[in-house]
Amino acid sequence: MAKEIFITQWFSDEMLLAGETLLKHLDETNAKVAAAFWILEDKDKAWELTIVSPLVENEGPRNYYKRINDINQSAKIDEKVVSLHDIRVSNNNNRIVKAIKNSVLGNAVLGNNRLGRNFMSGVYFEDMYLYRMDWELLSQKLDKAS
């Protein structure tokens, strides 16, 4: 079975690659990842990988975590995975996503960027690594039957 990565106060290449691998597997399962980013929580100094998808609202967070857990369980022995303990799932109403959306002009392409010490639309974040921000998926409302 795969090995969980160790999350530290410093953002590591191991965290970056493990997050990329998870996103690749989520894309392969049509998980509709609208935004994904590592964020350093200022008070706890702990990194969390946040996955934003309209499916979280549609399927419920428990089912979306199960989807991630299934991916982790099926990971190859040489793959590093992010523990569910270090992952947060959210629907499209995520406060960080809203803050970035309100601060960015138009539909700017955002992805694979390190954003440190930012204050956007009233929300401060100490450090962040943004994998993607898919404006089209973020504007979607899915039917419960989807």
Percentage, residues of the chain above pLDDT 70: 88
Ordered alpha helix ranges (H), the chain: 13-28, 54-59, 61-73, 95-103, 135-138
Report percent pLDDT > 90 for the chain: 53
What is the distance between the alpha carbons of residues 100 and 106, in angstroms, rounded to a whole number?
11
Tell me the whole-structure pTM to 2 decimals: 0.87
- Whole-angstrom distance, CA of residue 1 vs CA of residue 71: 11
Residue 27, CB-side half-sphere exposure with 13 Å CA sphere: 13
**Per-residue pLDDT tens over the stretch 97-113:** 888 887 764 455 567 77
